[in-house]
């Protein structure tokens, strides 16, 4: 029994790491030994029940606490905690073992100490900078960071009190730091943004995420990893949830220009990113829509980034659902300038394409696409119909109502069960 073995050898970090990796595989349906293939649903359910009964969660926490310097123990322990967090019978042990704090400690202890400084100007400075970035990405930090973010996502999704603990241990800040330190690591980006998406499901968290510039990280990920559908889904979902807050929506719309820095940073043009979104002047949706400066098609233009992701992942239901929802949230104020900007970027055409492609088979995508089209049409074609006024009003009434904004109340943020 894995747990018994872990308790007999508490000082053997490599063995504990291997046991955590095996436990994670079993709980994920990796199957039994002997080359028998993946485990079936009945077998996985049996492993989950055994894990709850024998105190596996507490044992994993003890292993991580005993070996904080072991990257393998922290990586595989975090991976196991991700799966254990979804087992109801393990929640007490996760709390007793202080799982959230341990994962945050792992993220902090196994993060890159610092990104390499920009090289001095020289003939081959571009090559040197590219090589420095490659070495940072090849460092052994990324697997630990990805596993830690997966664990925090699992804890936040299945244990509502985790978000409060995350603030105490700086978990959301650590997530943003991981995103900036590994801008091209798809796994880190996917799970870091998934964690922020879960957090943004709560209205009171959106202002905190705005202050941390989570919207900038989402748009930077869309630009840095345009071919990664899973990254697109979580980035678009995060932008949707954030844009349900007026200040965050203005900050998203204010991202119109600037280059993406090596660490994933991006700067808004006139509104100055999230700070401009918070202020009374320059932070309104109308001001953002009419902002001056660099061409709106630059990598950090949020509206074009959303539309580019919708176009690049036309057959990915999750990306289409989240992208259409993000367009709906941005258009929900009815600001004609904002809706015209979305239309100019191809938003109307892309939402119609999503509706045509998924309407017969995927009700969630169809709902999001219809809501986006209704929000855009309400602002762009206010006198499109001379028919029944009550029916017209029902169609225009709160287009976001059809879009569940959070894991607590909807399927829109149903991520990676």
Are 72 and 15 contacting, i.e. CB atoms less than 8 angstroms apart? no
Residue 405 vs residue 75, higher pLDDT: 75
Q: What is the pLDDT of residues 245-291, one digit of tens each?
A: 999 999 999 987 644 333 333 333 333 333 333 333 334 433 443 33
Measured between alpha carbons, how far is 109 from 132 in angstroms, rounded to an integer? 21
Residue with tokens 């569940």: 404
- Work out the pLDDT band at 312, boundaries 50, 70, 90: very high
Count each helix (H run) and each strand (E run) in the chain, helices first. 24, 0
> What are the C-alpha distances in Å from 303 to residues 5, 179, 223?
53, 21, 12
Q: Produce one character per residue of 264-288: b if its CB has 16 or more CB atoms within 10 Å, e if not.
A: bbbbbbbbbbbbbbbeeebbbbebb
pTM of this structure? 0.77
Residue 403 has pLDDT above 60, yes or no: no
Measured between alpha carbons, how far is 405 from 203 in angstroms, rounded to an integer? 10
Structure-derived torsion over alpha carbons of residues 72, 74, 79, 80, reported in degrees to the nearest 10: 100
Average of per-residue pLDDT across 74-103: 94
Tokens of 401: 């109502």
Residue 50 has pLDDT above 60, yes or no: yes
Tokens of 182: 């590994």
How much is the pLDDT for 297?
Answer: 40
Are 108 and 78 contacting, i.e. CB atoms less than 8 angstroms apart? no
Average of per-residue pLDDT across 339-362: 92
Are 206 and 278 contacting, i.e. CB atoms less than 8 angstroms apart? no
Measured between alpha carbons, how far is 328 from 191 in angstroms, rounded to an integer? 24
Are 285 and 302 contacting, i.e. CB atoms less than 8 angstroms apart? no
Q: What are phi and psi of 244, to 5 degrees?
A: -75, -15
Give the closest residue to 224 by CA, choosing from 259, 270, 175.
259
Q: Produce one character per residue of 75-94: b if its CB has 16 or more CB atoms within 10 Å, e if not.
A: bbbbbbbbbbbbbeebbebb
Q: What is the pLDDT of residues 189-246, one digit of tens each?
A: 999 999 999 999 888 899 999 999 999 999 999 999 999 999 999 999 999 999 999 9
Are 323 and 329 contacting, i.e. CB atoms less than 8 angstroms apart? no
How much is the pLDDT for 399?
Answer: 42
How much is the pLDDT for 113?
Answer: 65
Least confident of 41-55, 283-297, 304-318: 283-297
How much is the pLDDT for 288?
Answer: 41
Ordered structural domains, the chain, with CATH? 1-31+42-114+140-199 (1.25.10), 229-417 (no CATH)
Q: What is the pLDDT of residues 105-132, one digit of tens each?
A: 999 999 886 344 444 444 445 555 565 5
Q: What is the pLDDT of residues 136-165, one digit of tens each?
A: 444 468 999 999 999 999 999 888 778 888
Give the closest residue to 244 by CA, choosing from 283, 193, 205.
205
Give the closest residue to 180 by CA, choosing from 71, 260, 269, 277.
260
Radius of gyration of the chain (CA): 23
How much is the pLDDT for 320?
Answer: 95
How much is the pLDDT for 31?
Answer: 56
- Considering the chain, what percentage of its residues have pLDDT values greater than 70? 72
Measured between alpha carbons, how far is 231 from 184 in angstroms, rounded to an integer? 11
Measured between alpha carbons, how far is 231 from 228 in angstroms, rounded to an integer? 5
């Amino acid at each position: 029994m894995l747990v018994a073995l872990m308790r007999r050898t508490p000082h053997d970090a490599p063995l504990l790491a291997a046991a955590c990796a095996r436990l994670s595989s079993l709980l994920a349906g990796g199957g039994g030994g002997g080359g028998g293939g993946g485990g079936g649903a009945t077998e996985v359910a049996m492993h989950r029940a055994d894990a709850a009964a024998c105190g596996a969660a507490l044992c994993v926490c003890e292993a991580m606490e005993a070996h904080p310097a072991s990257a393998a123990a922290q990586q595989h322990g975090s991976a196991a905690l991700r799966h254990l967090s979804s087992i109801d019978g393990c929640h007490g042990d996760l709390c007793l073992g202080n799982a959230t704090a341990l994962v945050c400690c792992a993220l902090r202890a196994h993060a890159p100490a610092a990104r390499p400084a920009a090289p001095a100007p020289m003939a081959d400075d571009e090559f040197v900078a590219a090589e420095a970035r490659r070495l940072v990405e090849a460092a052994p930090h990324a697997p630990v960071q990805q596993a830690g973010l997966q664990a925090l996502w699992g804890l936040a999704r299945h244990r509502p009190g985790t978000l409060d603990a995350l603030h105490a241990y700086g978990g959301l800040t650590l997530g943003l730091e991981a995103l900036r330190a590994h801008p091209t690591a798809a796994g880190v980006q996917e799970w870091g943004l998934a964690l922020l998406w879960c957090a943004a499901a709560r209205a009171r968290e959106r202002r905190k995420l705005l202050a941390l510039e989570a919207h900038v990280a989402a748009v930077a990920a869309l630009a840095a990893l345009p071919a990664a559908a899973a990254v697109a889904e979580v980035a678009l979902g995060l932008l949707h949830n954030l844009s349900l807050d007026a200040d965050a929506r203005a900050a998203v719309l204010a991202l119109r220009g600037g280059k993406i820095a090596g660490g994933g940073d991006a700067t808004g043009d006139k509104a100055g990113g999230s700070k401009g979104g918070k202020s009374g002047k320059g932070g309104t949706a109308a001001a953002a829509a009419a902002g001056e400066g660099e061409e709106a098609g630059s990598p950090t233009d949020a509206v074009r980034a959303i539309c580019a992701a919708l176009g690049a992942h036309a057959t990915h239901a999750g990306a289409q659902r989240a992208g259409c929802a993000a367009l709906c949230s941005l258009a929900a104020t009815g600001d004609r300038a904002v809706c015209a900007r979305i239309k100019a970027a191809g938003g109307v055409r892309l939402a119609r394409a999503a509706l045509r492609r998924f309407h017969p088979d995927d009700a969630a995508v169809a709902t999001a696409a219809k809501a986006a089209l209704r929000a855009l049409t309400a602002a762009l074609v206010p006198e499109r119909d001379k028919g029944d006024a009550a029916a017209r009003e029902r169609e225009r009434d709160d287009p976001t109502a059809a879009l569940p904004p959070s894991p607590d109340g909807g399927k829109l943020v149903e991520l990676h069960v």
